Structure 1
Amino acid sequence: MPLKPGQNPYKILDLQKGCTEKEIQKAYRAQCLKWHPDKNLNNKEEAERRFIEAKEAFDFLYDKEKRAEYDKGEEKVRVAQENYDKRMAKADGERRKLIEELERREKEFNGAGKRPSDPPTAAQQAKKKKTDHRNFQEEIEAIRRQLEKEVNEETERERHQKAKESTMPQLLVKWKVADGGKDYSEEDIRKIFENYGRISSISSVIPKKDRRKRIVEFDAGVNAWGAELETGNGPMPELTAEWLKPPVDTVKKVEKSAGSATSNLDHMSLEDLEAQFMMGDF
């Protein structure tokens, strides 16, 4: 795949000169993940352009000959080629003819066929170069397909993970603690709410003056409806609870009663929710 004039393949893949083939593969994979069209739905046109540029840069840098030529500079390569042609033009014609004659006689003496030491003809060199180039292009294409396959698989895994997280019910639990009064530990909260379904995790306590909060996250698909009515165990402080992400089969019912404030939190992870509540007053 040709590189467009003015493009810097190192800059496109965020690499430096002298990078290894493994580094090129790793950089190309990273760019594919970053600019995969399925992950940039709001900026699809630029993502597709960057995705194609990454492919072109990968093809160019993975070809050692092209990369070496680029590193040396086109002008330097051109001058070197001209000097080489001049030296060849000045070579002794008679000497070359003598060598060719000796090689011809040697072939005749040894009969039909070609000795391993005989230098290849220009046609054979051209054919070999063409074959090597085709094989190399096939190798590059195979590596690129494998990298893109890995990117697609990772993108799909991320999509499934996000879908799974979006179905994990999350309950915000709140209570007040008097000076010197009893308080709920994580284990206390777990014992109370595990009666409503298997718990995936519980956030650290979120304190604010005399108030305390924790976020209880149930496993995906758990129908923990009713946990929002829990009031705790006396003589411990009274608990109040509300759904941040209600069980899947009751989303519509809860959204109607809770309003848009709950639905805005539907796609936040437990860590993001915890940070949100640390900063805000929910």
Structure 2
Amino acid sequence: MSLPAGFDPYAVLSVKNDCSEKELKNAYRLQCLKWHPDKNLDNKEEAQKRFIAAREAFEFLFDKTKRAEYDANKTKIRVREEKYRQRMEQADDERRKKIEELNRREKAAEESTVQSKPSEQQEARQRKREEERIREEMRKIREELEKQAMDEIRQTEERIRKAHAEHRAAQKIIQEEAHLAKLKLKFEAPDEENDYSEEALRIIYEPYGKISAISLIKKKKGKRLCIIEFAKGVNAWGAELEEGVGDGPKITGEWIVPPSEFQTEPEERQEKKNDDDIDYDSMSLEELEAHALGPNVEKKARIE
């Protein structure tokens, strides 16, 4: 494979002239990652050109014979140009013209020698076999490097898709929690005996629906603030009218987030259970009396 005029394989792969095969492979893999057409859909034509150029540069430099010839020719050109520069610095106008003409002839002679150099039939066959062997070895390496680059692209895309899915799931949970019914309660407790604990409040309000969270805040002078969050799908309308039990502190309720119209009907109140469902044998005397006197007294008995 001959290189186009002005094509510098080292510059295409961004490697130094003395780079190792390992560095060459790594440079080609990085170019594949950077210019793979599937990764540059908005600039696919340019990416395709860069991708092909990187492949050609890699194939050329991985062929040790071609690389050695290219390096030797580059060295020869560099030495000649350096000598030419030194001559020109030391020469006057007339000599410069002669040096320029001599340099042009030398360059033309070198190109002519390279192009017209004859090769023996046996050398040609041997060279062909060697080129085929190198080409096959290079093809396998190139395919492996391109596969690695494509795998990295797919893994990156999968990580991005997974992150987006996790973000959407988290946003869904946040939105659902934002629509959970939340009830704010206020009451005053003159002393510890006339107060409601979190457990007592749970017993009072659970008949309106399943509670997912409850937070009781005790303020100064016996003032209490409580936030009750009902579970998803619970329609707890009516809970805001609950005033407490018996001689306990009077509770006032206010919805922070009212139940949604899409939420289900509240669970059947525990105090409306049929007498057939009540296990009287397991009740204590106090509980039997509370049940007989009515639902509020029964709540109070459970709280106490």
Bin for the TM-score computed over the shorter chain: 0.3 to 0.5
Structure number, greater radius of gyration: 2
Q: Which structure dedicates a bigger proportion of its chain to helix? A: 2
- TM-score normalised by the chain length of structure 2: 0.43
Q: TM-score, normalised on structure 1?
A: 0.46
